[in-house]
């Protein structure tokens, strides 16, 4: 088994993996803070029915 083998990229955007990784690392703390906040939790609860309805439409 090769532990250091790099995973094949699934990136189909015009941006290099390194740029996407840097952006993700930069935004992660703010996303996590929002996710864990009271306001963020209320927002998620409100968005869930919309997400489920959109999934139902795409399956039908």
Domain presence at residue 39: yes
| Domain count for the chain | 1
Domain presence at residue 11: no
Tens digits of pLDDT across the chain (60 residues): 566 677 777 889 999 999 999 999 999 999 999 989 998 888 878 888 888 888 888 776
Domain presence at residue 40: yes
Domain presence at residue 26: no
Domain presence at residue 13: no
Check residue 26 and give its pLDDT: 97
Domain presence at residue 54: yes
Check residue 3 and give its pLDDT: 66
Domain presence at residue 51: yes
- pTM of the entire predicted model: 0.50
Domain that holds residue 51: 34-60
Complete DSSP assignment for 14-57: SS-HHHHHHHHHHHHHHHHHHHHSHHHHHHHHHHHHHHHHHHHH
């Amino acid at each position: 088994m090769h532990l250091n083998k790099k995973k094949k990229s699934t990136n189909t955007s015009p941006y290099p993996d390194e740029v996407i990784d840097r952006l993700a690392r930069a935004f992660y703390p703010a996303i996590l803070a929002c996710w864990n906040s009271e306001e963020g939790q209320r927002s998620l609860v409100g968005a869930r029915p919309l997400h489920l309805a959109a999934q139902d439409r795409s399956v039908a």
